[in-house]
Structure 1
Amino acid sequence: MATEDYKEGIPVMGKIPETLPEWKVYFDGNFWGHHGRERAGKEISLAKQFIWDGEVWLMPAIYTCSKGLVVDFCIQVPAERIRFFMDKWNLSMENDGTHFTEEQRMQIEADNPLTINVSPQVVLNGTVLSKTRGCGVSWNPCLPKVNDFEARNVIRHYGLDPAYGWAIWRAAFPWTKKRKPQIRTLSINLMQIPVAISGPHFQVSAPGERIEFTHPTSGAQNTLIVQEYDHREMSREDFDNQNQEFPTHYTVMSYTLSQDLPDDAFTVTDCLRSDQPRKKHNNPNNLQTTDGICFVIVGGADRPTAIIYGGNEQSKLHVVCSALHFPPVEDVEWRMVFYEKRREDLTVEIISA
């Protein structure tokens, strides 16, 4: 196992070069490796640095591959900002955060300075390339022992200062044609993915009920009007598994808003998670849950799902499904969730004619 050398509490990356493989980037790969016989992409060094909403961003390189373009983004985060975040939530190597509530996890995700909530677009020679996949790693100088091998490799290859925190994101953009184009002009459109903000909880029992609420950011008053509220059960024939039993009971609610919000700005979700599948037993009183099973069923089995109906000429009808449970749940506790963009979109010119 590789060992670390330290200088003033900061790992010195150059002391273990024999443990780091040759740097190669693949279109269908990630920071952890790749599969198949794809050839590594050609690295084009950029060292492009820019500021976005007070943050220092670095685009150290792009990679031209047979299938498309790969772009690495590195966001520099001061160590004191990370330390403030960790102290706020009492995070440490001993506290992994498993005890946090869903609302707390949502707030932690919004606060985390090493989280990248960005949807990038590449404009190559005037043609837009949309991202098809991405992956990320991070470097935390406050907890050097938890930094994984892949983060160390990125820090070393790009010569990033390990005294800072780094959020590193790799995105892949397929070519629009089969033939690899020659790069004449290149720019990047950066758009923040809206941040989730937990809102008030509520319960309903019948159609026609009205729930008044206030938008947490704008302060605007609004009303949710329940149009339909129904307890339902999925057919057991929908689950093709002889050894496991799945929860089937759920609740459907449709609603409208007195002041409709954009589709990606507001939703309603069940406060509870779905029950996990359990092994089938001959004795119904001797049932055990199956840990580690994740299942998704259209309509909101693992997570409540929102479906939107209606047009611009009428109030939109929104439909949400609760989590799935073995026994019916009569009183579902719902939670409003707001989504907010906290920074303006940015276009960065990389290569100009």
Structure 2
Amino acid sequence: MDVYHNGNFRGGSRGSRLAPVPIQRTFLWEKQEILVPAVYVGPAGAVLDVCARIPVEDMAAFLKKWPRERRLALAAPEDYEQVDADNPGSQDFLVEMSLDGTPLQLASSSSINWYPESVFRMGNEASAPAQEGEWANDPEAEQLMETYGCSRGCCWHFGRLNFNWTGEPVLSPKKLSLDFRAQLSPVTAGYFTTAADTAGQTVKVAHPATGQEYTVTLHECLPIRHDFADMGAPGVLYPEHGCMLSYSVSPEISRDLFDIRDCANGDKPRKKAAPGEHSRSDGATAVFLAGKSPVPQRRMAASSMYFEPVEEIRWRIVFQVRKKPHMEVSFVI
């Protein structure tokens, strides 16, 4: 299998071809079995491949909770976040890597999954093998299974991480050091509704992982209107009405780890109607805005956008949570 610097599993832009350095080590990250089959090095940079094993029973439980009909009926943003959180195939992670004590800089990452036929039958909700247009394995996933000799009795999540050298290239490494970091996942921890008399209201909410209680103080929620005439696509109408919420939170928490979001998607842009026709929605993209408070201690949250002014907005309080702690491992090559 050829591996290229700054490439990906699906034949993305290829840089220089890299030389494989076999690792073939397995370890547990909490209860997750991780295989590091190889690292690839060259003057241009390095690539790390990681294989995460997913038991079929875990996928079966997920597909039972979220059958195809329910997945296709998803509407609210929170539902999509919950599906992603429950899906054992959503295993993306970041890795910091050092070779012979020299740290490298992560440039990009990509991932791909492989599933046995039994899982396809669950996911397609049919007894026959997957047909054209249904859920099926990518050829690139099959190639990874063959190259790394992964067991076909379980599911696999493959991650490919591209690194750049920060110093002199290490082309014959003797030691590989890795720091695995789970991606942050959004978790909704509370709800509230704003109207004209929002000022001074407080909302208590507990962090879903630590139990730490936070107090959100609402200062004002003002209607906004944005004109997309000079920036939108020609022939498309965009929703222009929304609300901007000003709030503060105590104790202080990083803005990267705490957010307030509209519970609804808002209205979709639609094509302008020709004479005698009604405008119709086109596409799945909702319009939203972001803002920054002129008062340093205050934060801003923008609602979704709507075609008509809205008097009330139902909001949700979202924490960004890591499902696993960091995991450091080192291998002598």
Structure 2 partner of 1:268: 260
Tell whether the 8 Å contact from 2:94 to 2:183 is kept in structure 1 after alignment. yes
Tell whether 2:2 aligns with 1:27: no
Amino acid at match of 2:110: C
Deviates more, 1:159-168 or 1:263-272: 263-272
Tell whether the 8 Å contact from 1:120 to 1:130 is kept in structure 2 after alignment. no
Aligned-partner Cα distance in 2 for 1:308–1:49: 48
Tell whether the 8 Å contact from 1:26 to 1:34 is kept in structure 2 after alignment. no
Amino acid at match of 1:232: I
Decide which of 308, 314, 318 is 1:337's aligned counterpart: 318
Structure 2 partner of 1:242: 234
Counterpart of 2:281 in 1: which secondary structure?
Answer: coil
Structure 2 partner of 1:137: 112
Structure 1 partner of 2:32: 55
Deviation of 1:106 (Å): 2.1
Structure 2 partner of 1:159: 149
Alignment of 1:185-204 (within 5 A): 185-204=175-194
TM-score w.r.t. length of structure 1: 0.79
Tell whether the 8 Å contact from 1:191 to 1:346 is kept in structure 2 after alignment. yes
Q: Per-residue CA shift, 1:308-337, capped at 9, x if unaligned?
A: 8887xxxx4221111122222221111111
Tell whether the 8 Å contact from 1:268 to 1:306 is kept in structure 2 after alignment. no
Count of residue correspondences: 314
Alignment of 1:1-353 (within 5 A): 23-35=1-13, 38-91=15-68, 95=69, 97-100=71-74, 101-141=76-116, 142-144=118-120, 145=130, 146-177=136-167, 180-182=169-171, 183-205=173-195, 206-283=198-275, 286-292=278-284, 294=285, 301-302=287-288, 305=290, 316-351=297-332
Aligned-partner Cα distance in 1 for 2:236–2:158: 40
Aligned-partner Cα distance in 2 for 1:42–1:310: 54
Deviates more, 1:123-132 or 1:221-230: 123-132
TM-score w.r.t. length of structure 2: 0.84
Deviation of 1:216 (Å): 3.3
Aligned-partner Cα distance in 1 for 2:323–2:291: 23
Counterpart of 1:186 in 2: which secondary structure?
Answer: strand
Aligned-partner Cα distance in 1 for 2:154–2:101: 35
Over 3 Å counting, the alpha-carbon distance change for 1:212 and 1:96 in structure 2 is: closer
Counterpart of 2:71 in 1: which secondary structure?
Answer: coil
Tell whether the 8 Å contact from 1:239 to 1:246 is kept in structure 2 after alignment. no
Aligned-partner Cα distance in 1 for 2:149–2:293: 48
Counterpart of 1:143 in 2: which secondary structure?
Answer: helix
Aligned-partner Cα distance in 2 for 1:309–1:112: 40
Tell whether the 8 Å contact from 1:57 to 1:75 is kept in structure 2 after alignment. yes
Over 3 Å counting, the alpha-carbon distance change for 1:308 and 1:130 in structure 2 is: farther
Q: Per-residue CA shift, 1:195-248, capped at 9, x if unaligned?
A: 322222211123222223333344443321112321112233441533222222
Counterpart of 2:223 in 1: which secondary structure?
Answer: strand
Aligned-partner Cα distance in 1 for 2:103–2:298: 33
CA RMSD of aligned residues (A): 2.6
Structure 2 partner of 1:298: none
Aligned-partner Cα distance in 2 for 1:240–1:289: 15
Counterpart of 2:208 in 1: which secondary structure?
Answer: coil
| Higher RCO (C-alpha 8 Å, min separation 6) | 2
